[in-house]
Copies of this chain bind each other. A is one copy, B any other.
Amino acid sequence: MLTNNEENGLGDKPREKCGVFGVFGVPNAAQLAYFGLHTLQHRGQEGAGIAVSDGEGLHCTKGKGLVLEVFNQSDIDALKGSNSIGHIRYSTCGGDEWENIQPIVARANRGSLAVAHNGQIVNAQPLRDELENMGHLFHTSSDSAIILHLIQGGAGNLMEKLQSACARLEGAFAFLILTPKSLYAIRDRHGLRPLAIATLENGWCAASETCAFDAVGAKFLRNVEPGEILKFSRTGMESRFYTQQTEHRLCAMEYVYFAREDSSIDGKNVHLARRRTGELLARTDCKTLKADLVVGVPDSSLPAAMGYSEASGIPYGMGLIKNRYVGRTFIEPTQEQRDLAVRMKLSANSSVVQGKRIVLIDDSIVRGTTSRRIIRLLREAGASQVHLRVASPPILYPCFYGVDISSRKELISAGMDPQALCRYLGADSLRFLSVEQLREAYGEAGYCFSCFTGDYLTPLYGHRAD
């Protein structure tokens, strides 16, 4: 079964788990969340939810599927309130998944809370053990409820509880928390997952990516800082830090693959960052590689392909076409027709590639199956040579900060050197961007490159990196 979370049709990309969006102080908060989440849909297609608050109560609706599928007009109309948070989710979970769709709501006598979480708590298991030993009960195996449990056991007002709770969390997180009268936006101390805020006419907006601001007509204000807790309420915006030990290390994969190219994350436009990786790939090749055409794998590799083309002078061509009509239920080809599955999603334009020496730009290689099939497609369409250039370094280590690369075994680069990989993929040559080049492309700010280098930002709390 192919589903439309397999962005490039072939299903072997690392996938970050979700996106969050929230507004405070506007009429139709649910409808804005609906529009905002739709714009973040590329960050997850498995489930969506919206919680609203109206000063008193808190209501939540969620379901499986795309934002456009989960909500109809009467759902949105029923979610009355001037504040909202929403979540879209990527997941491969099975039957139990309802419990995992966010926002997660806590119904406490002292007041209700809803949380939408993007990221991964690396010390979830020890925290959970501790909480369970104190008698806490969990309904899911996900780690998103942990912050609610920590808050429930905390002291002071909610801001103080949040500060204590966040100080206990390690890893990658961007939380939106909704109460009947306020909205909180929280980012982990490394800023691993993106989170930004914007202003609306009479209110505030927070989102994983700035493209959602453009969609709802909100005006970008600034990024949430690593370690920061922002509170929005009637009295305006209030900023606190739950820790002073902050160090900006945004997940590099946001630029490599996850984010939409019209978003700017922590001040850098995603499109331009991707384009720059292509330029750097070209610079390395410029003396040595003779080719006729640069082709990018749609959609996330196109900017890098353009950058490569511009820097190398080799023409850019749309040699690969993606079928835009993707549904939930795709009939699987029979065993004999297995090759068709690929062709349903992606096809090579033989008029463009025929007889050409192709520089194929892919943003990253995880399991390698995609790249292998694409190279075969191009050859069948008449490409005389296919030189694969990857706009990121080899992925050698699993991620514990919210990217779905859970084991080294799946990582083809962890088990094969580039020469062997080149042969496996059927390419004429293969080159990755180096970590240094990636750093050069992305500029001065700090990044998390742990999936390339194995230098993790935190202890691993029992997670296995080998």
Q: Which A residues lie at the B interface, using CB under 8 A? A: 4, 28, 31, 34-35, 38-39, 41-42, 45, 59-62, 66-69, 71-73, 75-76, 78-79, 94-96, 98-99, 101, 104-110, 128-129, 132, 134-141, 145, 148-149, 152-153, 211, 214-217, 260-262, 264, 269, 271-272, 299, 302-303, 306, 310, 315-318, 321, 323-334, 337, 339-340, 343-344, 347-352, 381
Please determine whether B68 and A347 come into contact, CB atoms closer than 8 angstroms. no
Known interface pairs A35-B340, A262-B347; 17 further A-B residue pairs with C-beta atoms within 8 A, sorted by A's residue number: A31-B337, A42-B325, A68-B326, A78-B95, A108-B137, A109-B128, A135-B135, A135-B149, A136-B137, A211-B321, A214-B347, A214-B350, A214-B381, A261-B321, A262-B321, A271-B318, A272-B352
List, in ascending order, chain B residues with CB within 8 A of A140's CB.
Answer: 105, 107
For the complex formed by this chain, how many copies does it contain in all? 4
| A327 nearest CB across to chain B (Å) | 3
Q: Which residue of B lies closest to A73 (CB)?
A: B331
Please determine whether A330 and B68 come into contact, CB atoms closer than 8 angstroms. yes
A72 to B60: give the CA distance in the assembly, Å. Answer: 26
Given contacts A138-B106, A215-B344, A337-B31, contact A96 B59 (CB under 8 A): yes
| A162 nearest CB across to chain B (Å) | 15
Say whether chain A's binding surface is mostly helix, strand, loop, or mixed: mixed
Please determine whether B94 and A39 come into contact, CB atoms closer than 8 angstroms. no
Q: Which of B109, B269, B333 contacts A129 (CB 8 A)?
A: B109
Please determine whether A347 and B105 come into contact, CB atoms closer than 8 angstroms. no
Given contacts A315-B310, A343-B214, contact A325 B66 (CB under 8 A): yes
Q: Which of B35, B152, B315 contacts A132 (CB 8 A)?
A: B152
Please determine whether A39 and B352 come into contact, CB atoms closer than 8 angstroms. no
List, in ascending order, chain B residues with CB within 8 A of A347's CB.
Answer: 39, 211, 214-215, 262
Given contacts A138-B107, A152-B137, contact A72 B331 (CB under 8 A): yes
List, in ascending order, chain B residues with CB within 8 A of A34's CB.
Answer: 331
Q: Which of B61, B135, B310, B324 contacts A96 (CB 8 A)?
A: B61
A41 to B400: give the CA distance in the assembly, Å. Answer: 40
